[in-house]
Amino acid sequence: MATARIATRSLARASSRHAAHPVLDFLAPTTAAHASCQIKSRSTHSAASPAPIAPQHSPPPEPFRHHKISHTLTDEQSDFLDSALRVNQAGELAAVLIYTAQTPPLVRSHPHLRPLMKHMHDQEDGHFRYFNELIAKHRIRPTALYPVWYAAATALGWGTAVMGREAAMACTEAVETEIGGHYNEQVRVLLDWAEKLEGKGELGEELDTLIQQLRRIRDEELEHLDHAVENDSKQAKPYELLTNVIRGGCRAAIRISEKL
């Protein structure tokens, strides 16, 4: 039985909620893993906004015309966005590769799964493209272990697929649970910033769009989780072992990609 666990980091970083709609937002993910959003920990986000520093040079011609806000992102905020988007890109790379590797063995034995696998693969591909765009646009360094994640994700997808349909679905369930919780935590942190910035009228389109897109992506990942459970992921024979190993691996990969 899937234990409803969110990474402890998310609890450490959770902030107090004031507006009504973020609460509804967190009620939307209906799976058991997210039933524990009633756990409130009240550690406030540590980013303090500095006094706005007037730029000393006239703004150079930017390829994307945005309205300039005099606020400067703090180091922590910049760091958070940098590592968050790097991890997201690595995660979507892994997801695309898992589905790509799972599809041939799975579809050979269970042809009726072809449309589902194609649908999930295409959605992940869309997410991957989106994060690639963001990384290129915002000059974020991609993960240095790209080839390692490439090999690991392909091996994981292929391995679980030859183990059988249930194992493949259990792998999807484990990965999507971790990823869903991970995106949820990011949305939480960003909503906290957005609340503070909106109060000062400094919330730009960039952050706003990012939050919306992250929510959409999180919802799609959780939809994949539901599909996996519907397709008998819990009947996988070494269910606990498989899920725990995969979830542990995902958490380690997330932690490594944040820095590297």
Answer yes or no: are the C-beta atoms of 132 and 89 closer than 8 Å.
yes
In the list 70, 112, 199, 201, the residue contacting another protein (rule: CB under 8 A) is 70
Q: Is 110 labelled a binding residue?
A: no
In the list 4, 35, 41, 55, the residue contacting another protein (rule: CB under 8 A) is 55
Q: Is 224 labelled a binding residue?
A: yes
CA-based torsion, 65, 69, 75, 79: positive or negative: negative
Which DSSP symbol is given to 33? G
Q: Mind giving me the DSSP string for 176-228? A: HHHHHHHHHHHHHHHHHHHHHHHHTT---HHHHHHHHHHHHHHHHHHHHHHHH
Reduced to 3 states, what is the DSSP secondary structure of residue 202? coil
Stretch that binds another protein, among 36-44, 60-68, 165-173, 211-219 (CB under 8 A): 60-68
Q: Which is nearer to another protein, 31 or 49 (CB)?
A: 49
Q: Which is nearer to another protein, 104 or 238 (CB)?
A: 104
The one-letter amino acid code at 230 reads E
Q: Does 206 bind another protein (CB under 8 A)?
A: yes
In the list 10, 15, 88, 89, the residue contacting another protein (rule: CB under 8 A) is 89
Q: Which is nearer to another protein, 33 or 214 (CB)?
A: 214
- Tokens describing residue 213: 């897109």
The residue behind tokens 């937002």 is 25
Q: Is 198 labelled a binding residue?
A: no
Q: Is 62 labelled a binding residue?
A: no
The residue behind tokens 């959003």 is 37
Binding site for another protein (CB under 8 A): 52-53, 55-57, 59-62, 64, 66-73, 75, 78-79, 81-82, 85, 89, 104-105, 108, 132, 135-136, 138-142, 144, 146-147, 158, 162, 204-207
